[in-house]
């Protein structure tokens, strides 16, 4: 009989007042709903400047199945989650946010949905979010752009409360704000995904780490996801198309310049057609160079191992 084993990954950053209450709730949920399971809890501190790390170490006194990771500097939630995923040992991995807004009682229905429907990832979506109006407006705008560009139509990309199969997280590469695109990246890898309603509680201590500056990073990442969704294995199609359009424009310009010189006897050296011809020729050459370089980079990346992108100061 297969052992029932789960991993739980919780990233933290400056949440000293939430660490112990959240941890106690997780333990309570495990004892009530997963009493016949073995488990490990991986708590990742993203180089907090308060007493978060000291509180995380106290959790070991509450339960011995805790693994601590303290990153060498503040990398962001994506890297903190990646550090936890790398350490996770078992086939089923839960994640939840550090701010105590996610309810660990929802673990059970996420797990049951995953098993009953033979899915690879089940994500929670917060139907009744307890967030400020400005955050809800940004979220709805982001959802529209995501659907338009990458067509994932995710109801709630910011909800960290999820369960993954090990194969899903093994195929993720997270950095910057990429944790918000985990579902999109997993869909690109053809994993089976579903969303279900989960509880969402109002934040009672401190304020959210999300701000308008992160929206710019999100937009950059969105363009990146759009690129790899359409051109991950065929980037030459994008650059080849741009190269062809540029070549046609360049050829039209030079043909028109020659026509003016030969049939109208107009000097082309000071004509804007001549200047545009030179400019388009330079762009044509640059696109060709980018074309080759990107193809070589992809080939190199596919034949080398992923190196560590973060340093761990301490782990126990």
283's CB contacts (< 8 A; 6+ apart) are 246
Neighbours of 290 (CB within 10 A): 15
128's CB contacts (< 8 A; 6+ apart) are 200
Q: Specify the pLDDT at position 11.
A: 95
pLDDT in tens, 86-96: 999 999 999 99
Helices marked H in the chain? 19-33, 52-62, 77-87, 107-116, 133-149, 166-170, 182-188, 213-231, 235-263, 272-301
66's CB contacts (< 8 A; 6+ apart) are 40, 41, 42, 43, 59, 60
Domain boundary among 181, 214, 232: 232
Do 226 and 262 belong to one domain?
no
| CA geometry: angle 193, 197, 203, nearest 5 deg | 120
Residue 33 has pLDDT above 90, yes or no: yes
Q: Specify the pLDDT at position 273.
A: 63
pLDDT in tens, 108-152: 999 999 999 999 999 999 887 777 776 677 777 777 888 888 887
Residue 64 has pLDDT above 70, yes or no: yes
Choose the most confident range, by mean pLDDT, from 22-36, 131-145, 190-204, 299-313: 22-36
Do 47 and 116 belong to one domain?
yes
Q: Specify the pLDDT at position 13.
A: 94
Domain interval for residue 196: 5-232
Domain count, the chain: 2
Cα 8 to Cα 31: distance, rounded to the nearest angstrom? 14
Question: If DSSP codes are grouped into helix, strand and coil, which group holds residue 69?
Answer: strand
Residue 207 has pLDDT above 90, yes or no: no
Count Cα atoms within 13 angstroms, Cβ side, for 145.
17
pLDDT in tens, 286-308: 777 776 676 667 656 655 655 56
pLDDT in tens, 248-278: 877 787 777 777 778 877 776 666 666 776 7
Do 129 and 269 belong to one domain?
no
Query: What CATH number has the domain bearing residue 67?
Result: 3.90.550.10
18-30: average pLDDT: 95
**Range in 69-73, 87-91, 155-159 the model is least confident about:** 155-159
């Amino acid at each position: 009989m297969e052992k029932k084993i789960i991993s739980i990954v919780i990233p933290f950053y400056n949440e000293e007042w939430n660490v112990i209450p959240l941890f106690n709730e997780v333990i309570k949920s495990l004892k009530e709903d997963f009493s016949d399971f073995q488990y490990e809890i991986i708590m990742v501190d993203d180089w907090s400047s308060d007493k978060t790390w000291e509180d995380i170490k106290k959790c070991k006194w509450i339960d011995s199945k805790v693994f601590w990771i303290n990153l060498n500097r503040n990398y962001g939630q994506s890297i903190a989650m990646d550090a936890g995923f790398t350490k996770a040992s078992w086939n089923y991995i839960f994640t939840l946010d550090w701010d105590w807004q996610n309810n660990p009682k929802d673990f059970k229905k996420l797990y049951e949905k995953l098993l009953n429907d033979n899915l690879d990832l089940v994500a929670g979506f917060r139907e009744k979010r307890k967030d400020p109006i400005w955050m809800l407006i940004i979220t709805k705008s982001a959802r529209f752009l995501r659907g338009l560009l990458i067509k994932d139509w995710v109801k709630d990309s910011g909800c960290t409360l999820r369960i993954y199969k090990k194969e899903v997280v093994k195929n993720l590469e997270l950095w910057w704000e990429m944790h918000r695109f985990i579902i999109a990246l997993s869909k690109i890898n053809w994993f089976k995904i579903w969303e279900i309603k989960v509880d969402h509680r109002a934040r009672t201590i401190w304020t959210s780490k999300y701000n308008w500056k992160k929206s710019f990073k999100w937009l950059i990442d969105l363009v990146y996801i759009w690129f790899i969704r359409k051109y991950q294995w065929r980037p030459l199609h994008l650059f080849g198309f741009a190269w062809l359009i540029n070549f046609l424009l360049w050829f039209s310009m030079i043909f028109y310049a020659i026509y003016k010189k030969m049939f109208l006897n107009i000097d082309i050296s000071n004509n804007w057609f001549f200047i545009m011809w030179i400019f388009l020729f330079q762009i044509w050459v640059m696109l060709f160079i980018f074309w080759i370089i990107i193809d070589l980079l992809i080939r190199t990346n596919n034949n080398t191992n992923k190196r560590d992108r973060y340093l761990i100061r301490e782990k126990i």
